A and B are shown apart, each in its own frame.
Chain A
Amino acid sequence: MLGMSRSMGMAGVAALSLLAAAAWPPAAVHAKDVTLEFVVWNYSLDTIQDNVRQFEAENPGIKVNVTDYTWPDYHDSVVLRFRGNTTTDVIYGGQDWLPAWAAAGYLYPLDEIAADAIESYKKDLAGFTINDMTYDGHLYGLPYYADTISFIYNQRILKDAAIEVPTSWEEVADAARKLKANGMERPIVYEFNQELPNFYDAFVAQAYGRGGDLFDEEGEAIFNRPDNAAFQQLSWLRDVIAEGLVAFENHESTIIPAMNSGKHAFTIVYNYVLAAMNNKADQPLAGEFALARMPGEAQSTLGFTKFYAITSSAAENRERREAAWKFVDFMAGPPYAVAKRWAIEKGLGFGQLPLLEDPEVIEAWSGWVDMPTLQAQIETARGGTWKEWTAVWAASFRPLMAQAMIGEATVEEVMSQGAERWDALRAQMAR
């Protein structure tokens, strides 16, 4: 048997050598005038690469290398590139990362690269996207992808139970109680995961629906006041959970099959989840789900924006800066062909308002969302309060929210602790 192992070993060594040699091919050499390093998270790389090819064809002399990371590791990987001075010219940015990255000097304001163009583009951008891409009075990006948090309901279930689409949180609770009385065990399904930013974002969207905010214009915490919309919303969540009206899922991807089980009538998730829920390719109840304006007096919601941004290192060199701007302008500027492509082919949301009127976008999206409702929601959506410390603070606030929601702490306690933490971080950053 050992002899057999040895002969196998010899064959193995030969195979190992071949494989090992193939692991180290010579590096390819590119000879172009400017080569931009474009860093993205790996959503739909084929489409990204195809867009890049189109840009390169239209702009001879500029080549774009795409490097991608997985979404959960993207932030840390990009920071590592910044810290390691790895050549990086254009990146996907996010509203929550912008304050820290801009304050650290990693990103360069677009309005200092192409002031006139940026000024003229602003009129086409949704208000929340401008908020999300602005830091210290400067615009740092143009939208790659923008979306809002949606209140989603099952049309068939509501129709069968003769329930009107709720427009306030009290009506949502009443509808849920009626459905529960009719035999639906948990009419609301909620993404409950204190580790995920979505958990906080969805809560802010609900507070916006009520017409309130967690912070005042000076950036001071006001959500610890009992008359504040966020305070009231957390109390509402605590109550409906205590009543047994809410089922928990720990990720938006599991909300999709949960809603498609027909066991829940309402949920609050990003709008792209509605597209997935209504996907006729793989969802049994596709077509039953609809968007409603976020309940509450204001019917506003939270929007978010991921955007193309140019790094400061790219902006240092005139040729790279101009090439990077051309690239960003191609990907996100008028006539918004790339944003339109994402919207039609992949159902990605956008911050460029003219696309809401585009017949091809309307045709593509009408299969899964009511466009007039979406347009109304987008136009009233607001951006979040994004400071250098927001992400750190939100990570500490999410577990507090969770405690209050399941009754392990009072709303008063967690809101008070959350406000203290916010003020402490704010003071620390000011120093």
Chain B
Amino acid sequence: MTGRLADRLIVNLAALLVLAFAAGPILLAAFGSVVPDRILFDRDRSVLEGGMTLDNYRYIFTGRLPAAYMAEGANRAMISDAARQVPRSLWNSAQISTSVLALNLLLGAPAAFAFARFAFPRKKPAFLFLILSPLVPAVALVTPIYLLVDGLDLLGTKLAVVLVHTARSLPFTILILSVFFRKLPEELFEAAVIDGCSRLQSFLRVALPLALPAVCATGLFAFMLSYTEFLFSMVLSGDARSRPLSVVMAALARNTDVSWSLLNSAIFIAVLPTLLLVVLVWRYVVEGLLAGAVKG
């Protein structure tokens, strides 16, 4: 009895620890975004003394300066207008990452199926090339990719970022999905062929529905890779019209003209879509994966 209690205590403590690491920074960012800097930095004053404020969020979305910066003697140098790029960059990131997700699934799923189920010449070296290519450090590829994109006259466009992100994430998609497709019973495909299915039909009608949870999970993975990627986004994306969130967040985090509460507000806004995505979609992916495991 005591042993079971101790076990539960340890499990709960471990869960709390994980929760603190996972949710702590988000909660701190949310907290820091609504407490005025003046109170945040003053250890002698209670955080509740100055009241909560949504001024920073209002500034980010409307451009109206926080009340503290309207006061006489206030220095507006610390209220960076780069923060106002957050909403647009969020939209840019949504477009780029969703495009990357779509291209990964459109190109990656058939490729993975081919690698998993068919024999063709140079299959092994091609697969090795694909799965080893992500091992090349991104920084070593910046200059050649920049020159390539510049040569294609795509510099400063979202399309350039989409293409590079897709190229960087596609190997992972193919690797993960090919493993999944390989585990599907051979008998299913034999039966499909007997029923008159072509290779494409057996992919679309048999493999894809069974692999849907894995396809969703892999797509989300590609989405996340693109959403958080910084180096190529920074070099290739150009100005605010095409700049993704990761680049704007880097500017906010590293420029000295950004107040802490403004930075926290931007962080919280940046985290929200990912949180929403996890809440809305991840449950179905996990449930789908488990269902697939039982059926398999």
Q: Which candidate, B92-100, B113-121, B266-274, is the interface stretch facing chain A?
A: B92-100
Digit string of A89-109 for contact with B (CB within 8 Å is 1, else 0)? 000000000000000000000
Residue pair A282, B38 in contact (C-beta under 8 Å): yes
**A261–B72 alpha-carbon span in the complex (Å):** 22
Interface residues of B (CB under 8 A from A): 36-39, 41-43, 45, 66, 68-69, 71-82, 84-85, 94-96, 98-99, 101-102, 142-143, 146-147, 150, 155-159, 162, 209, 212-213, 216, 234-235, 238-240, 247, 250-251, 254-257, 259-261, 281, 284, 287-288, 291
Residue with the greatest number of chain B CB neighbours at <10 A, chosen from A46, A86, A282, A284: A282
Residue pair A80, B77 in contact (C-beta under 8 Å): no
**A86–B72 alpha-carbon span in the complex (Å):** 45
Please report which residues of chain A, range 358-372, place their CB below 8 angstroms from some CB of chain B when the two chains form the complex: 367-368
For the complex with contacts A19-B95, A70-B255, A368-B75, 11 further pairs of A-B residues with Cβ separation under 8 Å are A44-B80, A67-B156, A260-B42, A276-B256, A279-B77, A280-B74, A281-B66, A281-B76, A282-B259, A346-B76, A347-B77
Interface residues of A (CB under 8 A from B): 1-2, 4-6, 8-9, 13, 15-17, 19-20, 22-24, 27, 42-47, 65-73, 77, 80, 83-86, 252-253, 257, 260-261, 272-273, 275-276, 278-284, 286-287, 345-348, 367-368
**A86–B234 alpha-carbon span in the complex (Å):** 15
Given A281-B75, A282-B36, do A260 and B69 touch, yes or no (CB 8 Å)? Answer: no
**A281–B70 alpha-carbon span in the complex (Å):** 8
Q: Determine the residue in chain B with the shortest Cβ distance to A345.
A: B76
Residue pair B255, A43 in contact (C-beta under 8 Å): yes
**A272–B255 alpha-carbon span in the complex (Å):** 13
Chain B positions within 8 Å of A9 at CB level: 212, 216
Q: Determine the residue in chain A with the shortest Cβ distance to B210.
A: A2
Chain B positions within 8 Å of A20 at CB level: 95, 98-99, 102
Partner among B36, B98, B158, B213 whose Cβ is within 8 Å of the Cβ of A24 = B158
Given A20-B95, A68-B239, do A84 and B147 touch, yes or no (CB 8 Å)? Answer: yes
Residue pair B284, A8 in contact (C-beta under 8 Å): yes
**A287–B79 alpha-carbon span in the complex (Å):** 19
Residue pair B95, A23 in contact (C-beta under 8 Å): yes
Residue pair B239, A276 in contact (C-beta under 8 Å): no
Partner among A43, A68, A283 whose Cβ is within 8 Å of the Cβ of B257 = A43
Chain A positions within 8 Å of B251 at CB level: 42, 70-71
Q: Determine the residue in chain A with the shortest Cβ distance to B253.
A: A70
Residue pair B143, A83 in contact (C-beta under 8 Å): yes
Q: Determine the residue in chain B with the shortest Cβ distance to A257.
A: B41
Partner among B42, B82, B143, B235 whose Cβ is within 8 Å of the Cβ of A45 = B82
